[in-house]
Amino acid sequence: MMRWETYRWGGGKKLATAGEIMRGSAFTCGYCRGTGQTPKTNAQCPVCRGSGEVSAKPPVVKCAFCRGTGVGHSGTTVTCTICKGKGVVEVKEPIKTCPKCRGTGRSSSQLSCLECRGKGVVEVKL
Give me the residues that bind Zn ion (CB under 5 A), please.
29, 31-32, 45, 47-48, 63, 65-66, 80, 82-83, 98, 100-101, 113, 115-116
Find the shortest distance in angstroms from Cβ 126 to Zn ion: 19
Closer by beta carbon to Zn ion, 15 or else 83:
83
CB closer to Zn ion out of 11 and 108: 108
Q: Within 13 A of 102's CA, how many CA atoms are on the CB side?
A: 5
Find out whether 119 and 63 touch, Cβ atoms under 8 Å.
yes
Strand partners, 35: none
**Residue 120 backbone zone (phi > 0: left; psi -120 to 50: alpha; other: beta):** left
Provide the minimum distance between the beta carbon of 83 and Zn ion in the complex, in angstroms, as a whole number: 3
